[in-house]
Structure 1
Amino acid sequence: MRGGSGVVPLRRVPCRRWLLCLFVFFAAVLATSPSAEAKGGKGSRGRRGKTNLGGLDKEYYMLREECSKSEAVLGSANCTSSDVMRENCVLECVSPECYAEVYAQDPLEEGELDTTRGRLFRVCVRNAKKRREAERKQQDQEL
């Protein structure tokens, strides 16, 4: 200590250390910016919460949309009595065989949210479509 004042003089931070700190700060800011997120790629979701639907999933949701607007669902008193009954009718319209496999024994009930069976149903629909396409391809080869 000099002069007994008790104050420690400030040391100068070397220029290189200051630049390094500044560089680390800007790198951290850039790394957390939205433009630095993954833009896609195989198996990547891109923006959070958004999925890149494959062709089969797009077809599934288009078919669901068509079924929800179909006369079989809209014209049936049983299907329009409640939202859950309508959902059961839409699922059966999308794929009667998959509905029978997944939901027929225990249809959806009011307030029920069954993501596991929903996932099983979508997988069943995809597999059924793949089977039909394979059968069609095999028939075309036989001709």
Structure 2
Amino acid sequence: MVTPAALSSSPTQSRYLLLVVKILLVLLILLILPKLVDGKPSQGKKRRKLDRRYLDVLSACETGLQCGGMIYEESLPCVTECLSNECHGKVYGNSPLELGEVDEKRYKEFEACAKRELREAARRGK
């Protein structure tokens, strides 16, 4: 069987044509991809700012005149009260910590409450 000369092409031409088509497809995908992956922006930056602000206030309370002379474990009640008197009352009000006592569960509750207060104060400040 004989094929017409107009329909046949050399192997190098078809190889280049295939390469051009692949490049065009990749470019098309790269142009469309950002529109397809349009999601909600991350809250990571806001969380890092809040954590940094919390750690700054915590550090100021730990090294301040009121609580600075104590070791960490003994200064925890003083530091939590310095950070947020309201949250300290909510979390530790019914059964206060003894000197040297560390209660991770209640401290995490306190930390969440204090960060919530900082977040609300920042919103009011804007």
TM-score normalised by the shorter chain: which range applies? 0.5 to 0.7
Considering Cα pairs closer than 8 Å and 6+ residues apart, tell me whether 1 or 2 has the greater RCO.
2
Partner of 1:96: 85
Distance in 1 between residues matched to 2:80 and 2:61, nearest whole Å: 8
The 8 Å contact of residues 67 and 78 in structure 2, kept in 1 or not, is answered as: yes
Aligned-CA RMSD value: 2.7
Tell whether 2:102 aligns with 1:113: yes
AA of the residue aligned to 1:64: L
Residue 110 and residue 131 in structure 1: after superposition, are their counterparts in 2 closer, same or farther (change >3 A)? same
Tell whether 2:68 aligns with 1:74: yes
Q: Which runs of 5 or more residues in structure 2 are unaligned?
A: 1-41
Tell whether 2:101 aligns with 1:136: no
TM-score (norm 1): 0.48
1:110 CA drift (Å) = 4.7
Aligned length: 83
TM-score (norm 2): 0.54
Distance in 2 between residues matched to 1:133 and 1:110, nearest whole Å: 32
The 8 Å contact of residues 75 and 99 in structure 2, kept in 1 or not, is answered as: no
Bigger share in helix: 2
AA of the residue aligned to 2:105: T
For 1:1-143, list aligned pairs within 5 A: 54-74=48-68, 80=70, 84-110=73-99, 112-137=101-126
The 8 Å contact of residues 56 and 126 in structure 1, kept in 2 or not, is answered as: yes
